[in-house]
Amino acid sequence: MSKLLVIPSIDIKDGQTVRVVQGIPELNCRAYGNDPVEMAMIWRTENAKFLHVVDFDHSQLHSIKNYKIVKEICESVVIPVEFGGGISSFDDAQEAMDLGVTRLVIGSLAYTNPLEFEKIIQQFGSSKLAAAIDIIDNKVVIRGRKEVLDLSPLEYAKRLENNGMKRVIVTDVSKNGMLNGANIELSKLIAQNTNLKVTHSGGISKKEELFELNSLTNIGIDSAIIGRALYENKFACQKIWRIAESGIF
């Protein structure tokens, strides 16, 4: 059985690393300071094999002011970087891929503009893409969680699969950044009823949840994005890592 890939999240707003709680970015991520590039290098030092980067300025304002930082992250670590945040056209996708990212996360566009979405799939291939499925009260939400679709998560996952997607990132928004438990059953439902690879996101705060997800790699849940819990040292092994690395940066 393959092992679960743990993916640290680096969320950027106004050039700084932020925490995200229920989809709302909060400033002052103090674990190691606010520099996203330094944070990427720290996660690499702690043996991360993959990074998830979200640009909230691009997502909310369609601003590319953080793109220089994203490019520097890609150039500073020798591991793949996944990037998302407000990709609303083929040109957006091309510009983001030109930064050096390995995988692009597509959110609302997959629903609002299927023809443009298909163009992106044809250009980059499904292995370079992941589709975000954000859920509130068992309904899919888009446009920054402001619009609720009359689709269940599984219905939307099957629709994405039919459109050619191979991977989805499943986030229960009510769990995101709350540290009160992960909705693993939701990711499990999608993995068991599709052929999609599933990245779980939201709510992970203890090792037992990681062990449970690791036991589900055989059904297609092969990775988990973790943000706040890592920044707030919720896993006992982090203390060992950080004593060992003190003074590196």
Q: Report d(CA 217, CA 198) in Å as an integer.
A: 9
Give the whole-angstrom CA distance, residue 40 versus residue 8: 9
Q: What's the one-letter identity of residue 106?
A: I
Q: Is 150 an active-site residue?
A: no
Among the listed residues 55, 134, 172, 222, the single catalytic one is: 134
Q: Is-contact 62 44, C-beta < 8 A?
A: no
Residues forming a β-bridge with 104: 83, 129
SS3 9: strand
Selecting among 11, 92, 172, 222, the annotated active-site residue is 11
Strands (E), 28-87: 51-55, 81-84
Pairing of strands 221-226, 147-148: unpaired
Annotated catalytic residue 98: no
Task: For residues 60 and 13, give the distance between their C-alpha atoms in angstroms, rounded to a whole number.
Answer: 10
Tell me which residues are annotated as active site.
11, 134
